[in-house]
Structure 1
Amino acid sequence: MIHTDTSSKPASFCRQVATLGICLGLVLCGVIPVSAQDTAKPVLHGRHWAAVTGKPLAASAGAMMFARGGNAVDAACAMLGATSTMWDTLGWGGETQALIYNPKTGKVLGINALGVAPTGATPEFFQEKGMVYPPEYGPLAAVTPGTPGGLMVMLAEYGRLSLAEVLAPSMQMAEGYPIEGVQADNIERRREIIAQWPDSKRVFLPHLDDSNPAQRAAPVDGEIFQQLDLLATLQKLVDAEADALASGKSRKEAIYAAYERFYRGDIAKEIVRATREQGGLFTEEDLASWEVHIEEPVSTNYKGIDVYKLTTWVQGPAMLQALNILEPLDLKGMGYNSANYIHTLYQTMNLAFADRDFYYGDPYFPPAEPIEGLLSKEYAAQRRALIKPDVNDAMARPGDPYPFQGDKNPFSKLLEEWSPIPPAADADGSDGFQQAGVDHDAAFIAGTTSIQAADADGWVVSITPSGGWIPAFIAGNSGVGLSQRMQSFVLDERINPFNVVAPGKRPRATLTPSLALKDGDPIMAFSVQGGDTQDQNLLQFFLNVVEFGMNVQQAAEAHNVTSYQMQSSFGAHVSEPGRLDVTGQLPPYTRDRLKDMGYDVKVVKRTYSPITAILIDPKQGTFQGGASDYGDDYGIAW
C-alpha cells in the first residue's frame, strides 16, 4: 500500500518567515524587476492560506477544507478529487505526483502515485499488434490507477480531516454539476472514440441517438452532468472509512481501510472485470500489489535556492540539470528574451532533455538510473562546454554521466547508436486504435491540471496529477476513467533502455511538481499543465522570478519560448530539432536573429500552458498566488 524511505529533522514556520532574509519578486538575488508590467489577473494575497488549481470550482473545494480546519494537504487532496471529477485533463483512474514540505520535519518529501504496466504488457505483446509504441487510448493504454491511492496516502499521513470530509465536494459534483462548455465540446469532438466503450458511452454521451447521428451526443454548456457510478464508488470509500471508525480504528487506519477496498476489494474486482472484458490486461494482483511510494526527492542549488523535483520516473530532474548548466552564466546581462538568452536556454534544454530521453525511467525497476551523475555540477560543466555560441545544434545527444558518479556506462553501445529522431509510428491512425487523433503540437502542449496549496502552519504542497483524460475508458460500473500513460513507454531499448515497457514498471511521465526553498525554508510552490513543455515552462517561470525580478503573476503570464527538439512522450514520439515557437510579443529583429542561428522560428498565439504558483513572502509572512492568463486556472486565498 505504501513505501517510505525519507528522513527528517525539526523546523518551524516561524523560523521560515523570520530568517529568510530576502524578498522574492523584487529583491531575490539582488535583481530589479524587468518591468512594472500590468497583468491580466491580480496577484492573490493571503495571510492564512492559499489554494490555486486548474478550475475555480476545484479551488473552492480547497477553500472548503481550510474552512473546516484542514491544512494544505487536506485542501490539495480535495482539489485533486474535484479536478478528477471534472475531467480537467485527468480522471480518477489516472496518476498523482506530489511534493510536500512538512514543517514538522523541515523536509520535502515526494509522493509517487504513478501506476504500473499490467501483467502481459511486454514489447513483444504490442509489437505483435503492429505497434511501434503502446496505444494512446483505450484499455490497453492504461497503467494501474494511482490517483485514489495517492490521495488517500497523502491524506492519511499528512492531513487532518477525514476522507468523508475531503471527498464531500467531489461527491457533490459526481451527483451532478454544471459542466463547462469547453469540456462539453471536447467530449463531443471525441464522441466516435468514446462510443467504442459501453460505459464511457453511457456516461459521456447522454444524448447519443444512433438513429440521428447529426444530433449532439455530449452534454451542452451548463447542463447538469451526472456520474452516478463514480458517486457510488466514492461512497464505498467513505463507507469503508466509517465502518473502520465504528470498529475503533484510528483516523489513519480508517482511511487505509478505504484504500484496501479500492485496491483489494469490490472496486478493484469491478475495474479488472470491465477492463479485461474490453481487451485490457489488468489482473486483481496488479492492483493489489501496487503501492504508493513516499520517497526522497532530488534537488539542486541555484544561486542559493534549493529547487526540488521528483526523480527519474518523471522529467523533473531535466529542469535541475538545466539550472546546473545555466548557473554560472550571466542570464540577466544577456537581457530578458534577447536572442542570446533564448539561444542559451534552447541549447541548455536540448542537452538536458537529450539526457532525459535516454536515461530517465522507473527508479524502482533495475537498472538504476545515473541520477547522481546527471545532477553533478561537474557533469553540467561538461555539458555547458558543448553549447555553440551562435548556432543551434540539431544533433544534441545524451552525454555520459556515469564517470561523474564513479561508474561505467552499461549502455555505452546503445548510446553510440542513439538518434535524436526516434523511429516513428504510423501516425495516420488507420488502425483505429493506435492514434487518438491529437496532432503532435496539441499533444506537446496539452496536459493535466496543477495544484498548489500552502498554509500558515508551514505545509506547502505542489501536485501535477494527470491520466484518465477524455477520451477515457471508463471501467464498468466503477465510474473510474483509466489512465492513458502506457503510451509514454518505449518498445525499443535503443531509444531509452530505462523506459522499455515491462509488467510492474512505471512509464517515465512528463508530470513535474516543483518546490523551492531558501536556507531550508519554503519560498515557492509551482507547477504547470502541459505535456513535454512542462519543465520548459517552469524553467522560464523560475528564471523570470529569480533572474528578472518578476512577481509571481507576471512570471506566470510571461510568454515563453518552446522547443520541440526533445522527443515527445506521446503518440509517435516525434522530435523536431531546431523548431522554436514564439509569440508575436517577440520583436521581429530578435526572431530574425534566431533564424540566422539556424532556428525554424514559428510565431504562434500560445507557447505555454497555465502555470499555477504560490510564493511565500518572507517580509510580510503572507502568501502570493498566481495563475497564468490562459485557461481557467485560478485560486483563492485568505
Structure 2
Amino acid sequence: MRKYPLTLLLLYLPLLVFCQATQKPVLHGQHWMAITGKPLAATAGSMIFQQGGNAVDAACAMIAATSTMWDVLSWGGETQALIYNPKTKKVIGINALGVAPTGATPAFYKQKNMQYPPEYGPLSAVTPGTPGGIITMLAEYGTKSLKEVLAPAMELAKGYPIEGQTANSIQEYKKWITQWPYSKQVFFTHPDRARVAPDAGEIFRQQDLLATLQKLVDAEQAALKKGKSRKEALYAAYDRFYKGDIAQEFVRGCQEQGGLITLPDLANWKVHIEEPMMVTYKGIEVYKLSQWTQGPALLQALNILENFDLKGMGYNSTRYIHTVYQAMSMAFADRDFYYGDPYFPPEEPMKGLLSKAYAKERARTINQEQNDTMIGPGDPYPFEGGGKQNPYFNLLKTWGHTAVYKPDEPIHGLDDPFLQTFLSGTTSVEAADAEGWVVSVTPSGGWLPATIAGHTGVGMSQRMQSFVLDEKESPFNVMEPGKHPKVTLTPTLALKDGKPYLSFAVQGGDSQDQNLLQFFLNVVEFGMNVQEAVEAANFNSYQMYSSFGAHERKPGGLTLQQNTPFWTRKELKQLGYKIDYQERTSGPINAIYFDWQHGSFWGGSSNHGEDYGIGW
C-alpha cells in the first residue's frame, strides 16, 4: 500500500471532505418532479402525474395525502401556496389560512388568565383552510377531478402502515389526546394496553375521515351529473364542507369540546388568490407570500445582505455567520412588530419594509464587532412615500419588554421544550411539470395532539396561538374575530431571466425562513447544487420571538452543526453568541432547480427527516 506524508493528507483533507457525495442523491427528472414530507405522499403525487395531471393536481394530491397521514398536519389545518402559471408567466399566491372564530377576542382569553391562546385544544382552533385551499387550487389551475386527486388520500384513509415517527407522537401526547373523545377514538387503536398508540407498520384506519372525503367526492360527482362544469362541481364540494352537513358536524363537534367556531364562521370564510411579494437579489426575482406569513422577512434579509460581499467572506465563516445573523435579526424584528393580516386595518408598511433604501440603512447599522441583542424593529415609514407617519412610533421605545425574554437560559438539545416549540414542524410540497407549472406549498395545522371535530375525522388547527393579545407586542397581529393570524408558513419561488429558477420550502416553525435564506445563498453565492444546498450545514438564531407557545426568545442563541471548526466556535463566542450544537442543522428542505440548459429538473430533499421525492 502506498503511503503519503501526513502533511499532504492534512492539506487535501478539506478538499476530500468537500467532494464527498451527499447522503441522498440528486433527483433528476425530465417530465415532472414530486417532493414532500412522506414517501407515500410523494408516491401519491407521482400517481397523479402518471395519470396525466399537471403540477397543481399532483401538489393537491400530496397535500391531501400528507394531511391524511398526520405528517404534523391534518385536514383541518391551513394551506398556503405559490404557483407559477406558465400561460401568464406570473406567480400567484394562495391564502387558505383560517381565521379567528366568533367570540375569539383578547378579553375572552385574558379572562381565562391566558397570556396567549393555548398551544393545543379547541380554543387554539382557527377555521379549517386546507379543504378550501385544495379545491380552489384544483378549480382554478388544475386539470383533474376531485375524485381523481383524492383517490390516493382516500386509499390511505382506508388503512395504511403508519410510520414509527407518527405512531410514537401519538403515544407521546397520550395525556393531551385523552381529553378529547373523538381523537381518542381515532388515535388509541389499543386502548387496553400501556401503549395505546398504533405500532410502527400497523395498518392505521380512519373511517370518519374516509366518509368525509367521500362526501366531498359525492358532491362533485352529483353536480357533474346535473350538467355542471368541472369548476362548478369542484365548488359544490367546497360548499358541502363549509356550508353543508360536513360543516354542521364539524361545528357540533368543535363546540361540544369547548371550541368557538360557528356555522357562519365557516360559511363566511374564503380562500384569497393574491399577488405575492417580490424583491430582486443580484437580478434573481424571489417571491414570497405577503405579510400574513413571515415570508417577507426572507426578502428583507436578502435586501440587507445584498450590501455585503458574502461570497468573499466564505461559506459559514465567522464573518459570514455573524453578518447573516444580524441581517436576520433585523428582518425578524420587523416581522415581529409590523406583519399581520392585510385584510384588516391598520395597513402594514410593506413598501417601506421591502425598499432597497430601507435595507441599506439597516445594513449600515450592523455592528461587526459584537452580536447586538437589542436589535429591534426599524421605522420603515420614511421609506413608504407620501409623508406617512408611523402610528406606533411610541411602541417602538418599549418593544421587547412585554413578551417572554429568556436570554440566559441555555438550550439543551432537541428535547428542550423551547426548541421543540420554536421549531414546530409541518410539511412542504414541491411539484413541477414539463408544461411549466410550478407549485411550492407549506401546508400545516391540526398537528398532533390534534382535537378531532366530531365524526368528521378532521383535526382542528392550532394556529390561534400565533396571535398576540397586546398591541405592545405586535400591533398588526392582535386577535380579532374573522382575522388571519400571522403564520410562519412560507413557500418560495425564484425566477431568473423570466423563467423558474428555484422552488423551495421547509418545515420548522420560526426557523423556516432562516433555513430557506441560507439554502438560497448556498446555491447563488456558493454554487452548490440543489441536493448539496439542502443538506449543507446551516445555523439557527433564536433572537426573534417564537410564534408559538409562550412566544419566548433567546437573544444571542445560536445553533451550529457539530463539525463547525473550533476557531469559528471560539470567534463566535467572542462576538457574544451563546452556542449549542446539533448533528444536522439544514432543516427538512425540499427544492427543485430548473436546468434550462438541459431541459430537466434537479430535485433536492434534505437528509433531515422523512422527506422524499420522485422524478420522471
Confirm or deny a common fold (TM above 0.5).
yes
CA contact (8 A) 2:402 2:473 kept: no
Residues 1:254 and 1:546: Cα distance change in structure 2 (over 3 Å)? same
Q: SS of 1:506's equivalent?
A: coil
Distance 2:405 2:78 in 1: 26
Distance 1:173 1:184 in 2: 15
TM alignment of 1:405-484, pairs within 5 A: 405-406=384-385, 407-419=388-400, 422-423=403-404, 439-484=417-462
CA contact (8 A) 1:445 1:608 kept: no
Consecutive unaligned residues of structure 2, counting only runs of 5 or more, are 1-16, 407-414
Match of 1:259 in 2: 238
Shift of 1:519: 2.1
Out of 330, 335, 348, the position equivalent to 1:369 is: 348
Per-residue Cα deviation, 1:109-145 (whole angstroms, up to 9, x for no partner): 0000000000000000000000000000101000000
Q: Percent identity?
A: 66
Q: SS of 1:477's equivalent?
A: helix
The answer as to 2:497 corresponding to 1:519 is: yes
Out of 288, 299, 308, the position equivalent to 1:320 is: 299
CA contact (8 A) 2:586 2:606 kept: no
Consecutive unaligned residues of structure 1, counting only runs of 5 or more, are 1-33, 426-436
CA contact (8 A) 2:83 2:437 kept: yes
Letter in 1 for 2:431: A
Residues 1:608 and 1:574: Cα distance change in structure 2 (over 3 Å)? farther
Match of 1:114 in 2: 97
The answer as to 2:28 corresponding to 1:45 is: yes
Shift of 1:424: 6.9
Out of 470, 488, 492, the position equivalent to 1:492 is: 470
Q: SS of 2:93's equivalent?
A: strand
* Root mean square deviation, CA, Å: 1.5
TM alignment of 1:242-391, pairs within 5 A: 242-391=221-370
CA contact (8 A) 2:224 2:233 kept: yes
Distance 2:558 2:20 in 1: 25
CA contact (8 A) 2:404 2:553 kept: no
Shift of 1:609: 1.8
Residues 1:104 and 1:420: Cα distance change in structure 2 (over 3 Å)? farther
Out of 115, 122, 130, the position equivalent to 1:139 is: 122
CA contact (8 A) 1:37 1:554 kept: no
CA contact (8 A) 1:117 1:501 kept: yes
Per-residue Cα deviation, 1:526-576 (whole angstroms, up to 9, x for no partner): 000110000000000000000000000000000110100000000000010
Shift of 1:202: 0.3
Q: Which moved more, 1:602-611 or 1:394-403?
A: 602-611
Distance 1:283 1:581 in 2: 43
Match of 2:3 in 1: none
Residues 1:618 and 1:288: Cα distance change in structure 2 (over 3 Å)? same
CA contact (8 A) 2:291 2:486 kept: yes
Distance 2:18 2:81 in 1: 33
Per-residue Cα deviation, 1:162-211 (whole angstroms, up to 9, x for no partner): 000000000000000000011101100101100100000000012112xx
Distance 1:492 1:138 in 2: 22
TM-score, normalised via structure 2 length: 0.95
Residues 1:563 and 1:238: Cα distance change in structure 2 (over 3 Å)? same
Residues 1:224 and 1:438: Cα distance change in structure 2 (over 3 Å)? farther
Aligned structure 1 segments of 4 or more residues deviating by more than 3 angstroms: 34-37
Distance 1:590 1:417 in 2: 34
Distance 1:420 1:80 in 2: 39
Distance 1:98 1:299 in 2: 15
Per-residue Cα deviation, 1:595-616 (whole angstroms, up to 9, x for no partner): 0011111122233420000111
Per-residue Cα deviation, 1:445-481 (whole angstroms, up to 9, x for no partner): 2311000000000000000000000000000010100
The answer as to 2:228 corresponding to 1:241 is: no
CA contact (8 A) 1:203 1:227 kept: yes
CA contact (8 A) 1:53 1:452 kept: yes
Per-residue Cα deviation, 1:359-397 (whole angstroms, up to 9, x for no partner): 011111111111100000000011101100110000001
Distance 1:508 1:36 in 2: 41
Shift of 1:64: 0.6
Shift of 1:403: 1.0
TM alignment of 1:120-269, pairs within 5 A: 120-209=103-192, 215-269=194-248
Out of 581, 589, 592, the position equivalent to 1:614 is: 592
Aligned residues: 592
Q: SS of 1:332's equivalent?
A: helix
Distance 1:480 1:242 in 2: 22
Q: SS of 2:495's equivalent?
A: strand
Shift of 1:421: 6.7
